[in-house]
Structure 1
Amino acid sequence: MKASFYVPLSLGLANGMLAHPLEPESSWPQLLTLVFHSADGQYPMRLPADGREHLTNNAMTVNYIDAPDFTAQKQCTFRTPGKVALVNGIDSRGLQQILVGPPQPVVGVTCSGTCVPTWITCVNPRTGAELGECCSGYCDKGRCQPWLSPAALT
C-alpha cells in the first residue's frame, strides 16, 4: 500500500519540475576574468559583461591583459588616461592576451555580450548558423576549439 502512494507522489514531483524549467543561463550577464600585468606585478578582475563600466581601482601601469575566457578585445572597452593601442596576442601557452601600447593604467572596463566556451557547440547543427563567437579560440567542426600555442606549431 505504501508503494502505491509513493509512485504517484514521485511522478507528481517530477511533472512539477518539468513544468518549471530552470532559468536559461543566457538571461544572466556572462562573467569574465581579466588579469592585468605590468613589470611590477599583476592583478585579476572578475566582472560581468553587463554593459556597465567597472573601475579597476588600480594605478599600476599595464603592459598586457590576459583574457582567458572572453573575447575581450572585441567585446570590452578599456578606459585609460591616454591614447592607447590594444592588439590581440597569444602567449606561448595558447592563452589569449591583449597587448597595451604604450603601457599605462587601465582605469575602467566595460564589457557586454556573450561568447561560446571552449569545446561547446558553436554552430546550430540544423541550420548551420553560428551560435556566437568562441570565448578563447575558434570554431572548427562545429565546436569551439582552444587557441594553439605558437610553440606547438614549430
Structure 2
Amino acid sequence: MKISIYVPLSLCLANGVLTSPLEPPRPGPQLLTLVFHSADGQYTMRMPADGREHLTKNGMAVNYIDAPDFTAQKQCTFRTSGKVALVNGINSRGLQQILLGPPQPVVGVTCSGTCVPTWVACVNPRTGVELGECCSGYCDKGRCQPWLSPVAAPA
C-alpha cells in the first residue's frame, strides 16, 4: 500500500521538476510607439523591438517621427522609398523626434534592443554598471531623467 502512494507522489514531483524552468522566463521584446507626421495627417505604429522589419502600409510623405518611449534614432532603421537624411531632435516638450528630409513615405521600420524608462535606475547602485540607455531622456544621478523637467515644461 505504501508503494502505491509513493509512485504517484514521485511522478508528481518529477513532473514538477521537469516542467518548471531552471531560470525565470525572459520577457518578450520591448514594445515601442512611433507616430509618423505628414502634411496630410499622422499615423501611429505600436511594435516590438524584435529585430524584424514591420511594414507601415501607409504611403503618406512623412516629415517627422515622434519616438516617445524608445531610442528610435539609435535602435531603429527606417526604410524609405528614396534617399533620405534623418536628423535627430527634441521638441519644446522634450519629445524625441526624427526629422526626414526630404519628406517621403516610410516603407518599413526595424528596431531591436531595449532601453530604460524615465525615472527608473540606469546604473546599478552596487556595481556602478550602466543598465542601458534611457528611452526618452538621459541618465543623471543613477536614474533616467526626462529631457525637460516636468516643472520647466511649457503648459
TM over 0.5: yes
Alignment CA distance shift 1:146-1:107 (3 Å): same
Which residue of 1 is the match for residue 122 of structure 2?
A: 122
Instruction: Tell me how far 1:116 sits from its aligned partner.
Output: 0.4
The gaps in structure 1 that reach 5 residues or longer are: 1-18
How many residue pairs match? The answer is 133
Which residue of 1 is the match for residue 25 of structure 2?
A: 23
- Distance across 2 between alignment mates of 1:67 and 1:43: 13
SS of the residue 2:74 aligns to: helix
Instruction: Tell me how far 1:52 sits from its aligned partner.
Output: 0.3
CA-to-aligned-CA distance 1:29-86 (integer Å, 9 cap, x gap): 0000000000110000000000000000000000000000000000000000111111
- Distance across 1 between alignment mates of 2:87 and 2:116: 21
More helix by share: 1
Which residue of 2 is the match for residue 141 of structure 1?
A: 141
In the TM superposition, what are the counterparts of 1:63-82 in structure 2 within 5 Å?
63-82=63-82
Which residue of 2 is the match for residue 99 of structure 1?
A: 99
Which residue of 1 is the match for residue 62 of structure 2?
A: 62
TM-score, normalised relative to structure 2: 0.80
Which residue of 1 is the match for residue 45 of structure 2?
A: 45
SS of the residue 2:106 aligns to: coil
Which residue of 2 is the match for residue 16 of structure 1?
A: none
- Distance across 1 between alignment mates of 2:75 and 2:95: 17
SS of the residue 1:107 aligns to: strand
Superposition RMSD on alpha carbons, in Å?
1.9
- Distance across 1 between alignment mates of 2:91 and 2:39: 16
Larger Rg: 2
CA-to-aligned-CA distance 1:94-151 (integer Å, 9 cap, x gap): 11110111110000000000000101000011111100000000000000001117xx
Which residue of 1 is the match for residue 112 of structure 2?
A: 112
- Distance across 2 between alignment mates of 1:131 and 1:83: 35
Runs (4+) of structure 1 exceeding 4 A deviation are 19-22
1:44 partner letter: T
Alignment CA distance shift 1:29-1:153 (3 Å): closer
1:138 partner letter: Y
- Distance across 2 between alignment mates of 1:119 and 1:68: 14
Identity score, percent? 84
